[in-house]
Structure 1
Amino acid sequence: MLKLAPSLALSLALAVLTGAVQAQTPDPVRSEQVKPPASAPKGSLVIIGGGLRGDNADVWGKIVNLAGGKGARIAVFPSASGSPERAAQSIIGYLKKYGADAFAVPVAIRLADSDYRKAADDVALAKKIRDSDGVYFAGGDQSRITQALVREDGTRTAVLEAVWDVYRRGGVVAGSSAGAAIMSSTMFYNPKAILAMLRTGVTDGQEIAPGLGFVGDDVFIDQHLLVRGRFARMIPAMLAKNYKLGLGVDEDSAMVINGKREVEVIGYTGALLIDLSHVVVDKTKPDFNVSNVRLSYLDRGDKFNIITQSFTPSPDKAGGRLDPQRPALRGPVYTNDILGNSAVVNIMERLIDSDQEEAIGIAAGNPRSTAPEVGFEFRFTKTPESVGYISSVAEAYSVLNIRLDVRPIDIPRPLYKYR
Structure 2
Amino acid sequence: MTISLKNTDRLLRSLLSCLAILLWQFPMHAHAEDNSPPQGSLVIIGGALRVDNAVVWQRIVQQAGGKGAKIAVIPAAAGNPERSGAATAAALNQNGAQAFVIPLSVKHPQFKPQDIVNDAGWLAKLKDASGVYFTGGDQGRIVQALVKPDGSKTAMLEAIWSIYQRGGVIAGSSAGAAIMSTTMFYDAKPVLPTLKLGVTDGKEIAAGLGFIGPDVFIDQHLIIRGRFARMLPVMLKKNYKLGLGVDENTAMVVSNQGEVEVIGYKGAILFDLAEASTDSSQKNFNISNARISYLDRGDRFNLRSKTLTPSADKLQGKLNPAQTYNTDQRFYADILANTVVTDLMFHLIDSKQQRAIGLAFGMDDQPELGFEFSFSKVAESQGYFSASSGAEAYTVHKLRLDIRPVKMQLPLYK
- Taking the aligned partners of 2:357 and 2:218, their CA distance within structure 1 comes to 26
In the alignment, residue 48 of structure 1 is paired with which amino acid? I
Q: Say whether the 8 Å CA contact 1:80–1:141 is kept in structure 2.
A: yes
Unaligned runs of 5+ in 2: 1-34
Deviation at 1:127, TM superposition (A): 1.9
- For residues 59-138 of structure 1, the aligned pairs below 5 Å read 59-138=56-135
Q: Which runs of 4+ in 1 moved over 3 A?
A: 369-372, 414-417
Q: TM-score, normalised by structure 2?
A: 0.89
2:356 is matched with 359
Secondary structure of the residue aligned to 1:76 is strand
Q: Which residue of 2 aligns with 1:382?
A: 377
Are residue 216 (structure 1) and residue 232 (structure 2) matched? Answer: no
Alignment match, 1:308 = 305
Gap runs ≥5 in structure 1: 1-37
- 8 Å Cα contact 1:255-1:264 kept in structure 2: yes
Of structures 1 and 2, the larger Rg is shown by 2
Q: Match of 1:384, SS?
A: coil
CA–CA separation in structure 2 for the residues paired with 1:203 and 1:168: 31
The letter of the residue matching 1:382 is: K
The 2-side partners of 1:361 and 1:132 are apart by 48
Contact 2:273 2:290 in 1 (8 A): yes
Cα pair distance change 1:350/1:186, threshold 3 Å: same
Q: Which amino acid aligns with 2:116?
A: A
Indicate yes or no: 2:253 matched with 1:253.
no
SS, match of residue 277 in structure 1: coil
Query: Measured at CA, do residues 415 and 86 of structure 1 come closer, stay the same or move farther in structure 2, by a change above 3 Å?
Result: farther
- 1:90-137 per-residue CA deviation (whole Å, 9 max, x = no partner) reads 001101110101000111100012111121122321121121010000
Deviation at 1:370, TM superposition (A): 11
Counterpart of 2:383 in structure 1: which amino acid? G
Does structure 1 residue 50 correspond to structure 2 residue 70? no
1:295 alignment counterpart = 292
Partner of 1:153: 150
Secondary structure at the residue paired with 2:377? Answer: strand
Q: Deviations over 1:288-335 (max 9, x none)?
A: 111011001000000011111111110110100000001100122221
CA RMSD of aligned residues (A): 1.3
Structure 1 match to 2:20: none
CA distance in 2, matches of 1:61, 1:371: 47
1:327 aligns with 2:324: yes
Higher relative CO (CA 8 A, sep ≥ 6), structure 1 or 2?
A: 1
8 A contact 2:361–2:367 mirrored in 1: no
* SS of 1:407 mapped into structure 2: strand
Tell me, yes or no, if structure 1 residue 238 matches structure 2 residue 238.
no
Could you say which residue in structure 2 is the equivalent of 1:373? 368
Distance 1:194 1:161, change over 3 A: same
> How many equivalent pairs are there?
378
CA contact (8 A) 2:199 2:233 kept: yes
2:174 counterpart residue number: 177
TM-score if structure 1 supplies the norm length?
0.88
Aligned to 1:30: none
CA contact (8 A) 1:320 1:392 kept: no
Task: Tell me which residue corresponds to 1:144.
Answer: 141
